[in-house]
Amino acid sequence: MNDDNPIGINRREMLASGFATAAATSVPISAQAKPQPADQPNRMKVTMTVNGEKRTLDLDTRTTLLDALREHLELTGTKKGCDHGQCGACTVIVDGRRINSCLSLAVMHPEAEVTTIEGLGKPDKLHPMQSAFIRHDGYQCGYCTPGQICSAVSTLQEMRDGIPSHVTADLEGTPPFSVDELRERMSGNICRCGAYSNIMEAMLDVAGERA
Amino acid sequence: MKFDKPAGTNPIDRKMVIGKATDRIDGPLKTTGTAPYAYERHDVVANQAYGYIVGSTIAKGQIASIDTADAKASPGVVGVVTWENAGKLGTSHWHTARLLAGPKVEHYDQAVAIVVADSFEEARAAAKLIRVQYKRADGQFDLAAQKASATKAGDGADSAVGDFASAFASAPIHLDQQYTTPDQSHAMMEPHASIAAWDGDKLTLWTSNQMINWAVDAMSDLLLIPKENVHVMSPFLGGGFGSKLWVRADAMLAAVGARVTGRPVRVTLTRPMVFNNTTHRPATIQRIRIGSDKDGKITAIGHESWSGDLPGGGPEGATNQTKKLYAGANRMTALRLAVLDLPEGNAMRAPGEAPGLMALEMAMDEFAEKLGMDPVEVRIVNDTQVDPENPNRPFSQRNLVGCLRKGAEAFGWNKRNPKPASVRDGRWLVGMGMASAYRGAPVMNSAARVDIDRNGVVTVATDMTDIGTGSYTIIGQTAAEMMGVPLDKVVVKLGDSSFPVSSGSGGQWGANSSTAGVYAACMALREKVAAKLGLDPKSAVFENGTVSAGGKSAPLTDAAGLSAEDRIEFGDLSRKYVQATFGGHFVEVAVDAYTGEMRIRRMLAACAAGRILNPKSARSQVIGAMTMGAGAALMEELVVDKRFGYFVNHDLAEYHVPVHADIPHQEVIFLEEEDPTSSPMKAKGVGELGICGVGAAIANAIYNATGVRVREYPITLDKFVEQMPRVA
């Protein structure tokens, strides 16, 4: 690990990967610079608290928080739907705020408190949002569901914390509780099975409101 | 069990469990992230390596050379497989294009290599070091440009009754319009993923697949190994919508990568690769002609559709519903297929009917306007109870009229102002639209095994899949009903090729067919149980864990250890009758009078689809399909790069699908219906009905709101904002 290069990418690798991208087009082979084999990956230790348990991982620094959870801690409840921050299936709660874990490297989270779907509840001890999703059939294939639930739990907390959204008219004071607010805040979580109407019912139920 | 006569009264009719709105039995697993999907099986085999697929950057041509040296030398790499070292591979009749290119390239992002490494990060990095040299060939990528070259799409592409041409020419009212639908992507949330492991010459594949038996068949053909050497498991799928009817490159290359490297290999397609590497719903150009008398009774109806596919592929059957939906003595349909060098076109939720009804039901709205009739009434006067192409063949059940009347009433259709652009709500122009829904109700033979243990737990095993459809639950409900036990005494095991072969999930046949297979196995088990307990099997009642007949009874646990397997085999009832599902969609939209921004305010569907096995999950199937239909109407379009031949918007930021903010509260009404010709379950299917027609209902609502008719889906505001009424 080179301290001068904390993210572990050297200039040669940057160039190599840039040329490799160019090489994927049909440029004549003579015009292509020869990519270089990469160096051994940089590794780094990171310790975080995941679902209340302290976990230390020795990771290839390119490992996303999502893959650290899924591949290294084998917490596969957090899903990979796009790996690009476009679908929300990887939503987890880090230090009290929901994030797309695919858009974040694990080593960026030393000492973080991470809550995944497994930390919210278990099949025999469900979180209220999990049981509301079951009651209102707020899912079908189940693949976006952990992300929806982590987002739904966080959304209600953000409402309580007075954090405004894109549709909040008055940026000062508590945002009004409305389905428009909930839908806006949940729109980073795609459900291709189309359970949105039912997810709203589940969230309203947990929030103590009716549709 | 043969099913060749309409069902009489049977144990399912007791409806103690079947027909009750029931929470999914797999809900606690799915909501806690403990349901195991294909890529997540750390538990099944040790020493798994990671595969990363490299896709072709040309649409058509040849691979001149592949330089893998740097990739092979990259840290952590276990091996690189291309067509040059993959070994002999077969072809499968399930695929139009091959799953590994070389030397021929058939479409953009067709797999050209898989890198296998110790970690995902290492495999991905090494994949970028592979250099492929191509000889690019010119291809055909533009459906409109190839329309004239399209040819008749095989036998059964055309149908004709009476004399369409002269009836249409002489009709006092007639409509002749062209509509287009774009290429669309399934975009299910879980990308295709597989883990493959070899034990000698035996392959085990954990994958995400809708049709386990087809997967076994295809893997056997592709890898040139006997079917009995292929074990496929797919207990949970993160959606499919037709995209996972067939194994894809992830499955084959995981297996080939594992064979070449000697390590179990796990592979997922990256999200951007899903769009061009796998299948899509092909674009269509459709021409619809409708002629009638002044009373609105159709005398001539014609529907032609053009679509494209790779050589050897098939058409999008967009004329399907027009053969069956409305009466009319003179009729014609025609499917024309052009050769396109885009990725493989294939089935997506309600193939044929989904794009077909987007056109037909918009045409019916235009036709109603020409007649000056209410759109609901026009559809009702053209109802038919027999196959319009073959009047000797009745519908087994057809309650389209009931759906339209009930839907209209519940929605408040009578409040609609038929004059477009005449309802304002503040800055919003408000409109209502409706459409009929039609989708066939095919059946597939399906088998299951059922057994009883000493605790009275009934276990069902079948290779049926649950792709979000609720199969686990309705199969559990069926077994509970048949064996007289509560649902929590039933264990359902799905998605494993070592289980009896089921219908699988597709074409909305899964619910009816697979539960009918479970019914057959349960009937066989009931006979064995009654015989063992010394009871008359014909009169035995299975209830509350007890079996009773002729004044005697015994606990079901006395039959512990018994097991039975059977298969439902469908006879010719589906030829004697047209078996189909029906619905009416009603939608209210608001369009911003200044900006053209569209909002769906209300959606309601009334459906007649046989017995509804679980109204809770069936309703979810319908609203989910309505949501996908909203995407088709308003945003979904794979944009073709017509120079280089690929779908440009190959991710979820650029291929827009509906999100929470797009979808209002949705209502579904199921009409009471039981169809004794469909199966002993008297059910049909609703998974695809919900998407059929809903896009047109939205389009018609936008027309009613604005007075602007857009016939090219999706209806994005750039297509109509300039024609919007002037803001007063």
The CATH classification number of B352-441+579-723 equals 3.30.365.10
CB neighbours (10 Å) of residue B398?
A: 23
Residue showing tokens 């686990």: B472
CA-based nearest residue in chain B for residue A189: B659
Contact present, B420 and B699 (Cβ < 8 Å): no
AA letter at B480: A
pLDDT of the residue at B727:
82
Which residue from B129, B620, B665 is facing A140, i.e. has the nearest CB?
A: B620
Instruction: Please tell me whether the interface predicted TM-score (ipTM) of this complex is above 0.95.
Output: yes
Partners of A37 on chain B (C-beta within 8 Å) are: 70, 73-75, 129
CA B401 remoteness from chain centre: 25
Residue showing tokens 């997810």: A199
Query: For residue B210, what are the β-bridge partners?
Result: none
Which residue from B58, B128, B186 is facing A20, i.e. has the nearest CB?
A: B128
C-beta atoms of A26 and B136 within 8 A = yes
Partners of A143 on chain B (C-beta within 8 Å) are: 37, 188-190, 238-239
C-beta atoms of A142 and B661 within 8 A = no
* CA separation for the pair A156, A152 (Å, rounded): 6
* CA separation for the pair B435, A80 (Å, rounded): 37
Asked if A178 reaches chain B (Cβ–Cβ under 8 Å), the answer is: no
- Does A27 have pLDDT greater than 90? no
- Test the B interface: residue of A30, A140, A185 with most B CBs within 10 Å: A140
Partners of A74 on chain B (C-beta within 8 Å) are: 42
Contact present, B492 and B24 (Cβ < 8 Å): no
Q: Identify each DSSP E strand in B93-211 by its residue range.
A: 104-105, 111-117, 131-136, 151-152, 158-161, 173-181, 193-199, 202-207
Contact present, B438 and B582 (Cβ < 8 Å): yes
Which CATH fold would you assign to the domain B2-35+443-575?
Aldehyde Oxidoreductase; domain 4 (3.30.365)
Looking at the annotation, which residues of B are catalytic? 688
- Test the B interface: residue of A80, A105, A120 with most B CBs within 10 Å: A80
C-beta atoms of B125 and A38 within 8 A = yes
Contact present, B612 and B672 (Cβ < 8 Å): no
- Does A30 have pLDDT greater than 90? no
The answer to whether A43-120 and A128-206 have equal CATH topology is no
Query: What is chain B's Cα-based Rg?
Result: 27
Which residue from B74, B133, B272 is facing A29, i.e. has the nearest CB?
A: B133
> What torsion do the CA atoms of B668, B672, B676, B682 make, to the nearest 10 degrees?
40
CB neighbours (10 Å) of residue B124?
A: 16
C-beta atoms of B271 and A199 within 8 A = no
CA B530 remoteness from chain centre: 40
CA-based nearest residue in chain B for residue A141: B468
Q: Which of residues 671-710 of B touch A (CB under 8 A)?
A: none
Asked if B467 reaches chain A (Cβ–Cβ under 8 Å), the answer is: yes
Partners of A89 on chain B (C-beta within 8 Å) are: 189
β-pair type (B230-233, B265-268)? unpaired
Tokens representing residue B232 in the block: 């496929």
CA-based nearest residue in chain A for residue B603: A197
Q: Please tell me what DSSP assigns to residue B714.
A: S
Going from N- to C-terminal start, the domains of chain A cover 1-40, 43-120, 128-206
Partners of B134 on chain A (C-beta within 8 Å) are: 26
Q: Which of residues 3-32 of B touch A (CB under 8 A)?
A: 23-24, 26-32
- Test the A interface: residue of B20, B25, B31 with most A CBs within 10 Å: B31
B190 to chain A nearest CA, in Å?
5
B494 to chain A nearest CA, in Å?
14
User: CA nearest B473: which of B296, B620, B332?
Assistant: B620
Tokens representing residue B90 in the block: 């077969």
- Does A47 have pLDDT greater than 80? yes
- Does A41 have pLDDT greater than 80? yes
Tokens representing residue A35 in the block: 């990519």
Contact present, A66 and A83 (Cβ < 8 Å): yes
Please provide residue B395's backbone torsions phi and psi, each rounded to the nearest 5 degrees.
Answer: -75, 140
Going from N- to C-terminal start, the domains of chain B cover 2-35+443-575, 38-137+196-220+244-263, 352-441+579-723
For A76-105, the pLDDT digits (tens) are: 999 999 999 999 999 999 999 999 999 999
pLDDT of the residue at A209:
63
Q: CA-based angle B408:B712:B430, to the nearest 5?
A: 40
Handedness of CA B567, B203, B129, A32 (dihedral sign): negative
C-beta atoms of A141 and B239 within 8 A = yes
Which residue from A16, A187, A192 is facing B188, i.e. has the nearest CB?
A: A192
Query: For residue B439, what are the β-bridge partners?
Result: B581
Tokens representing residue B86 in the block: 């993959």
Exposed / middle / buried, residue B560 (Cβ in 10 Å: 0-12, 13-18, 19+) = middle
CA-based nearest residue in chain B for residue A129: B31
Q: How confident is the model at residue A174 (pLDDT cuts 50, 70, 90)?
A: confident
* CA separation for the pair B362, B703 (Å, rounded): 10
The answer to whether B38-137+196-220+244-263 and B352-441+579-723 have equal CATH topology is no
Q: How confident is the model at residue A196 (pLDDT cuts 50, 70, 90)?
A: very high
C-beta atoms of A82 and B32 within 8 A = no
CA-based nearest residue in chain B for residue A123: B28
C-beta atoms of A62 and B125 within 8 A = yes
Which residue from A17, A75, A79 is facing B128, i.e. has the nearest CB?
A: A17
Q: How confident is the model at residue A17 (pLDDT cuts 50, 70, 90)?
A: very low
For A94-137, the pLDDT digits (tens) are: 999 999 999 999 999 999 999 999 999 999 999 999 999 999 99
Asked if A12 reaches chain B (Cβ–Cβ under 8 Å), the answer is: no
The CATH classification number of A43-120 equals 3.10.20.30
pLDDT of the residue at B373:
98
β-pair type (B458-461, B446-452)? antiparallel
Contact present, B645 and B342 (Cβ < 8 Å): yes
CB neighbours (10 Å) of residue B90?
A: 13
Q: How confident is the model at residue A39 (pLDDT cuts 50, 70, 90)?
A: confident
C-beta atoms of A145 and B31 within 8 A = yes
Q: What is the percent of chain B with per-residue pLDDT over 70, rounded to a whole number?
A: 100
Asked if A75 reaches chain B (Cβ–Cβ under 8 Å), the answer is: yes
Tokens representing residue B343 in the block: 């990725």
Which residue from B65, B136, B663 is facing A196, i.e. has the nearest CB?
A: B663
Q: Which of residues 645-674 of B touch A (CB under 8 A)?
A: 651-653, 657-661, 663-666
Which CATH fold would you assign to the domain B38-137+196-220+244-263?
Aldehyde Oxidoreductase; domain 3 (3.90.1170)
Q: Which of residues 310-369 of B touch A (CB under 8 A)?
A: none
Instruction: Encode B238-277 in three state secondary structure.
Output: CCCCCCCCCCCHHHHHHHHHHHHHCCCEEEECCHHHHHHH
- So what's the architecture of A128-206 in CATH? Orthogonal Bundle (1.10)
- Does A31 have pLDDT greater than 80? no
Contact present, B35 and A142 (Cβ < 8 Å): yes
- Test the B interface: residue of A197, A201, A205, A209 with most B CBs within 10 Å: A197
- Test the A interface: residue of B30, B47, B77, B689 with most A CBs within 10 Å: B30
User: CA nearest B209: which of B171, B247, B161?
Assistant: B247
Asked if B120 reaches chain A (Cβ–Cβ under 8 Å), the answer is: yes
pLDDT of the residue at A37:
56
Which residue from B187, B623, B661 is facing A192, i.e. has the nearest CB?
A: B187
Residues 6+ apart with CB under 8 A from A63: A71, A72, A105, A106, A107, B119, B121
Tokens representing residue A204 in the block: 């309203």
Q: For chain B of 728 residues, list the mean pLDDT of each consecutive stretch of 10.
A: 97 97 98 98 98 98 98 97 97 95 98 98 98 98 98 94 98 97 98 98 98 98 98 98 98 98 98 98 98 97 98 97 98 98 98 98 98 98 98 97 98 98 97 98 98 97 98 98 98 98 96 98 98 95 97 96 98 96 98 96 98 98 98 98 98 98 98 98 96 98 98 96 87
* CA separation for the pair A97, A104 (Å, rounded): 13
* CA separation for the pair B206, B235 (Å, rounded): 9
C-beta atoms of A194 and B663 within 8 A = yes
Tokens representing residue B500 in the block: 């009896």
AA letter at B612: I
A106 to chain B nearest CA, in Å?
13
C-beta atoms of B32 and A197 within 8 A = no
Please provide residue A140's backbone torsions phi and psi, each rounded to the nearest 5 degrees.
Answer: -135, -75
**CB pairs below 8 Å between A and B: how many?**
249
Long-range contacts, B160-164 (Cβ 8 Å, 24+): B160/B331, B160/B332, B160/B333, B161/B329, B161/B330, B161/B331, B161/B332, B161/B388, B161/B389, B162/B329, B162/B330, B162/B331, B163/B330, B164/B300, B164/B301, B164/B302, B164/B330, B164/B331, B164/B332
- Does A25 have pLDDT greater than 90? no
The answer for A178, left when phi > 0, alpha when psi is -120 to 50, beta otherwise, is: beta
Please provide residue B336's backbone torsions phi and psi, each rounded to the nearest 5 degrees.
Answer: -120, 140
Asked if B628 reaches chain A (Cβ–Cβ under 8 Å), the answer is: yes
Asked if A144 reaches chain B (Cβ–Cβ under 8 Å), the answer is: yes
Q: What's the mean pLDDT in A146-175?
A: 94
Q: How confident is the model at residue A35 (pLDDT cuts 50, 70, 90)?
A: low
Contact present, A96 and A84 (Cβ < 8 Å): no
Residues 6+ apart with CB under 8 A from B132: A23, A24, B54, B56, B57, B63, B65, B66, B67, B112, B113
Number of alpha helices (DSSP H) and beta strands (DSSP E) in chain B? 16, 33
* CA separation for the pair B123, B113 (Å, rounded): 12
- Does A12 have pLDDT greater than 70? no
- Does A26 have pLDDT greater than 50? no
